[in-house]
Amino acid sequence: MKPLEANLKVKFNTLHRNPYFDDLPEELLNLIVGHMQLRGFERGEMLFWEGDPCAGLHIIEEGSVKLFRISPQGRQYIVRVLQEGDTCNEVPAFDGGTNPVNVATLEKSKVWVIDDAALRALVKAHTDFALKVLSNFGKNMRGLVRMVSEMAFYQVTNRLARLISELPAEEAPPTGLKNNSRRAWELYERWSLAR
């Protein structure tokens, strides 16, 4: 991990693009930018480990990461693959607990980290921000319920077919996925999760 320089304009642009902060008033954003840090990671580098104290709210600026857990038998279970603009580690950032998963980069990446104590203080002091956090948690919960339901009720082939059918037309090359390695990797990760 390497700390990277970033000016205020870049920090504000990042917050304006993120669903936790996109429509918050400027005075709240001013409080947050002082607690943001941009970090650079090499491919395969760990952002944080499951069970460690909260590492802050993470926003993927460039690259991609995998969220994963390790079974008692040592098998890796990929929970999700995140790409540019995605956010992770929300739960411990807002509840003060430990990291629920391991997170590692899949490629060279830049990641914003926002101090979790500052975010919890904002939730307590600003109702607008607290409501925004609750709304995003609700969306995340609905996504998790859908994912668990699919794993419980559908076979692997059905889940893979649904994933492929949801691809936007511009992301599904007519000659297969060999020309789109990033998308192929994401489908492979999802397929691995579905197994």
116 and 178, same domain (yes or no): no
Write the CATH number for 26. 2.60.120.10
Specify the pTM.
Answer: 0.78
Q: Determine the Cα–Cα distance for residues 8 and 16; give it in Å rounded to an integer.
A: 12
The residue that leads in pLDDT, 54 or 81, is 54
Judge whether 148 lies within some domain.
Answer: no
Choice between 165 and 118, residue whose per-residue pLDDT is larger: 118
In a domain, 147, yes or no: no
Structural domain harbouring 161? 154-195
Q: Is the pLDDT of residue 181 over 70?
A: no
Cα 39 to Cα 16, 101, 154: the distances in Å are 19, 19, 39
Contact by Cβ (8 Å): 187, 164: yes
Is 115 in the same domain as 187? no
Residue 179 above 50 pLDDT?
no
Q: How far apart are CA 61 and CA 83, in angstroms?
A: 8
Question: Domain tally for the chain?
Answer: 2
In this structure, the answer to whether residues 126 and 159 fall within a common structural domain is no
Q: Is 166 a residue whose pLDDT tops 80?
A: no
> Which residue type, as a one-letter code, is found at position 43?
R
CA distances from 79 to 8, 82, 103, 153, 191 (A): 33, 10, 10, 18, 11
- Give the pLDDT of residue 185: 57
pLDDT of residue 183 exceeding 90, the answer is: no
